[in-house]
Amino acid sequence: MLAGCGSTQDESTATSPATTSAVSSPASAEAVQAAERGADEFFSLLLRDDVEGLDQFLLPAFQIARADGSTADKTAYLADPADVGAYQLSDFYVTTSQDLIIARYTVTASERIDNQLYTSDPRQRLSVFVADGDDVGLLAHANLNTPDNPSTETPASGTPNDVDVARSDPADVAIAEATQNAFFGALKDGDSAALESLLSPAFQLVRADGSSANREEYLANPATMDSFELTDFVTTREGDVIVARFLGATAETIDGQTYATQPAPRFAVMQQDGDQWRIVAQVNFNVPEE
């Protein structure tokens, strides 16, 4: 477990030393340690309200998406970063693809976002880092936490504004739309061969209900998709990687549970592999019907 601190903070705030996670990952020990360092650096910068450090740590194509529908690119996030107090990071599961490090992990923290207090219960995060030697930068981050008292707040829709759309390269939007429509279409058609081709060996998926899967697990038990409509794509690019957030209105069943059909935020990271784009990370913020 990594405690909110490590070597980057004042020793008076440390609660325990950073150690390697006990969760088994297919990635090398060095990659797991890089993911742990990267996640700890991100939360440490937030804890210290170090906007200058965040500016250096977040890659230009950075995007964040949250379970309440709120989103931000690097410019918007630096203007209003999360207010994080004491935190603990644990249960890292790490995969790699070229220079990407994909990590899902559990965060227990006190945090306030847009003046809304979020629950301090353990909740999953998914981060995609780009490695450059011993250094890592944060490219994409999905926060599966939710407001502590959501009944008093109307969740954000996730629908992009004009600024978001203007910053998205139309060619990248077309790639993201094509890749995601192919993914959802393969689920609808029950086309396992198409799914195998679309999912990177490093693929990881997390959902707002706390469930998750790697490539092997997902191929063994994919969602059942009766219909879908994907809209409102916003993209950023870092080299051969595209980060996309969008809305998905679906009729889907996962592990025998029917999910809500109203548009819900989705988040994905796709990497070019030769002539094909493959999905390395997918986040489903939809929730089961009550």
Categorize the per-residue pLDDT at 159 as very low, low, confident or very high, splitting at 50, 70 and 90.
low
Q: What is the pLDDT of residues 31-77, one digit of tens each?
A: 999 999 999 999 999 999 999 999 999 999 999 999 888 999 999 99
Domain 2-145 and domain 162-284 have a common topology? yes
Architecture of the structural domain at 162-284: Roll (3.10)
pLDDT, position 110: 85
Arithmetic mean of pLDDT, 148-154:
55
Q: What is the pLDDT of residues 198-239, one digit of tens each?
A: 999 999 999 998 899 999 999 999 999 999 999 999 999 999
Nearest CA among 126, 73, 128 for reference residue 100? 128
Total number of residues shown for the chain: 290
Cβ within 8 Å of residue 221, ≥6 positions away: 213, 255
Q: Is the pLDDT of residue 11 over 90?
A: no
The whole-model pTM stands at 0.89
d(CA 229, CA 125): 26
Helix (H) or strand (E) holding 2: strand 2-3
Arithmetic mean of pLDDT, 276-282:
98
Class of 2-145 in CATH: alpha beta
Pairing of strands 58-66, 135-143: parallel
Domain locations along the chain: 2-145, 162-284
pLDDT, position 119: 80
